Amino acid sequence: MTDPAAFVTSAPAGDDVPGGPTPTGRERSRSLGADAWREMRRNPIFWIAIALLAVFVSMSIVPGVWAPKDPLICDLALARGLPGPEALFGYDAQGCDVWTRTVHGARSSILVGVLTTAFTLVLGSVVGIIAGFFGGWLDAVLSRLADVFFAIPLLLGGIIVLYTFREPNQPYAVVIFNVVFAISILGWPTIARLMRSSVLQVKANDYVQAARALGASPLRIIISHILPNALAPVIVVSTINLGAYIALEATLSFLGIGLQPPAISWGLAISDASGLNLIRSVPHMLLFPSLFLSLTVLSFILLGEAVRDALDPKLR
Amino acid sequence: MVSFIVRRLLQMVPVLLGTTLLIYLMVFALPGEPWEGRCGERACSPAYIAKFKEEYNLNSPVPVQYLLYLGKVLQGDLGVNFYNRPVTEELLQRWPTTATLALMALAFEIVIGITAGVLAGIRKGKFIDNLVTVATLVLISIPVFVIGSLGQLVFGIKLPELTEQLFGVRWGFPVTAVRSKTITPELVWSLVLPAIVLASLQIAYVARLTRTSLVENLRSDYVRTAKAKGLANSRIVGVHTLRNSLVPVITQIGIDLGSLMGGAVVTERIFNIDGIGFFLFRSITQQDGVSVVGAVVCLTLVYLLMNLIVDVLYGFLDPRISHD
- CATH class held by domain B88-317: mainly alpha
Per CB-CB distance under 8 Å, the chain A contacts of B13 are none
How do residues B159-173 score in pLDDT, each as one tens digit?
888 888 888 777 777
Predicted local confidence at residue A85, as pLDDT? 67
- pLDDT exceeds cutoff 50 at A316: no
Q: Which residue of B has its CA nearest to A282?
A: B153
How do residues B269-280 score in pLDDT, each as one tens digit?
888 888 888 888
| H or E stretch covering B196 | helix B192-218
How do residues B208-222 score in pLDDT, each as one tens digit?
889 988 888 888 888
Say which of B22, B140, B259 has its CB closest to residue A153: B259
Cα-Cα-Cα-Cα torsion B156, B162, B167, B171, nearest 10 degrees, comes to 0
Q: Which residue of B has its CA nearest to A182?
A: B26
Residue B82 to residue B289: CA distance in whole angstroms:
9
Per CB-CB distance under 8 Å, the chain B contacts of A155 are 262-263, 265-266
Q: Which of B149, B189, B196 is nearest to B172 (CA)?
A: B189
Residue A23 per-residue DSSP state? -
Predicted local confidence at residue A87, as pLDDT? 63
Q: Of the ranges A278-282, B181-185, B244-248, which one carries the lowest mean pLDDT score?
A: A278-282
- My answer on whether omega of the bond before B46 falls inside 30° of 0, hence cis, is no
How do residues A113-167 score in pLDDT, each as one tens digit?
999 999 999 999 999 999 988 888 888 888 888 888 888 888 888 888 888 777 7
Residue B311 to residue A204: CA distance in whole angstroms:
29
- pLDDT exceeds cutoff 90 at B108: yes
Predicted local confidence at residue A26, as pLDDT? 47
- pLDDT exceeds cutoff 70 at B182: yes
What are residue B80's DSSP bridge partners?
B86
> How close is the nearest chain B Cα to the Cα of A213, in Å?
35
**Burial class for A204, CB neighbours closer than 10 Å (0-12, 13-18, 19+):** exposed
Say which of B19, B176, B281 has its CB closest to residue A151: B19
> How close is the nearest chain B Cα to the Cα of A4, in Å?
20
Flag if A247 and B143 touch (Cβ within 8 Å): yes
Residue A22 to residue B63: CA distance in whole angstroms:
64
Helix, coil or strand: residue A91: strand
Q: What is the largest CA-CA distance in chain B?
A: 83
Q: Which of B151, B246, B264 is nearest to B207 (CA)?
A: B246
Residue of A160, A291, A300 to mutate when probing chain B, most B C-beta within 10 A:
A160
Q: CB distance from A226 to chain B under 8 Å?
A: no
How do residues B260-309 score in pLDDT, each as one tens digit?
877 888 888 888 888 888 888 888 887 777 788 888 888 888 888 887 88
How do residues A67-124 score in pLDDT, each as one tens digit?
777 777 777 666 666 676 666 667 766 767 778 888 888 888 899 999 999 999 999 9
Say which of B144, B152, B303 has its CB closest to residue A279: B152
Predicted local confidence at residue A84, as pLDDT? 67
Residue B80 to residue A245: CA distance in whole angstroms:
33
Flag if B137 and A165 touch (Cβ within 8 Å): no
What are residue B86's DSSP bridge partners?
B80
Predicted local confidence at residue A22, as pLDDT? 45
The residues spanned by each domain of chain B are 2-74, 88-317
Residue B164 to residue B174: CA distance in whole angstroms:
15
ipTM entry: 0.81
Residue of A147, A150, A154, A164 to mutate when probing chain B, most B C-beta within 10 A:
A164
Q: Which of A190, A185, A201 is nearest to A125 (CA)?
A: A190
Per CB-CB distance under 8 Å, the chain B contacts of A286 are 149-150, 153
